[in-house]
Each structure stands twice: as structure tokens, then as C-alpha cells.
Amino acid sequence: MALYAQTSGSLSTNASSFTAIQGLTLTIPEGVGTTAIIILNVPMPYAQGTDYPGGTFGISVNGTVSPVAASFTYNEQAPSSFGRIPTTLVVGIPLANAAQTIQAVWYGVRGSTVMLDSPATLTAIMD
């Protein structure tokens, strides 16, 4: 079984700690002895700022953010242009005795603003 969610429109954040990415929420079913593979694919994000801008992406399970995260930053302190930095995060989440809410989260690195203007996706794959 697979579950899937996709963003629409443009999104941005300048949060300094993890905040939900609108539209990227799934509920995985209960189960025991199975792990859901959760894939957050952000194919064309970019960040703006003047202190090595970047973005960090994560997955929360029932409101608790996984310690596994994906991040990007630019090599220049104040880039003259802000290129696209494809970012993908894959996390294994053991199924529990109850359904679990999976939410993609993000924040801007060092005060930068992270932007999505193309679809990002959240996928759960289970046996």
C-alpha cells in the first residue's frame, strides 16, 4: 500500500524551528512488525538570505520530529542568485498499535527564507 500527498501553489517559511509544510500530511494505519518508508521529495527548493542561506526538512510523527533530517545551504554568504537545490529525505517509521499522523516540516537556516514554487511530495510505502 502507498499513500501520497502533494503541495500546490507557492509556499515559504522563515521559521527558525520546524513548522508544518502545508499540504504534506498523511495518516499511516496501525500495524505491528512493519515499517513504513516515508519519502519527502522537495525537487526545486531555494532559499534567500545573507548568511549562507538554506533550508532544513524533516518528518514529524504524531507531533514529534524525527532526528533524521535533510538540509541544504549555499556556498556563498550572500549569493548573487539563488539556485535550486533538490532535497530528498527518507525515513523508516515503525507502524504502531494505532494510526499515526505523518507531517513534513521545515525551517530556514540562519534566518533565511525557504521557498517552494513547484510541487513537493510526501509518500508512505508499506507492505
pTM of the model: 0.95
Beta-strand runs (E) in the chain:
2-6, 11-13, 19-28, 35-42, 46-48, 54-61, 64-65, 70-73, 87-94, 100-109, 113-116, 121-125
Cell of residue 13, nine digits: 517559511
Helix (H) or strand (E) holding 57: strand 54-61
Catalogue all structural domains in the chain, each as residue range(s) with its CATH number: 2-125 (2.60.120.760)
Per-residue pLDDT of the chain (127 residues; tens, 9 = 90+): 899 999 999 999 999 999 999 999 999 999 988 999 999 999 999 999 999 999 999 999 999 999 999 999 999 999 888 889 999 999 999 999 999 999 999 999 999 999 999 999 999 999 7
Sort strands 19-28 and 54-61 into parallel, antiparallel or unpaired: unpaired
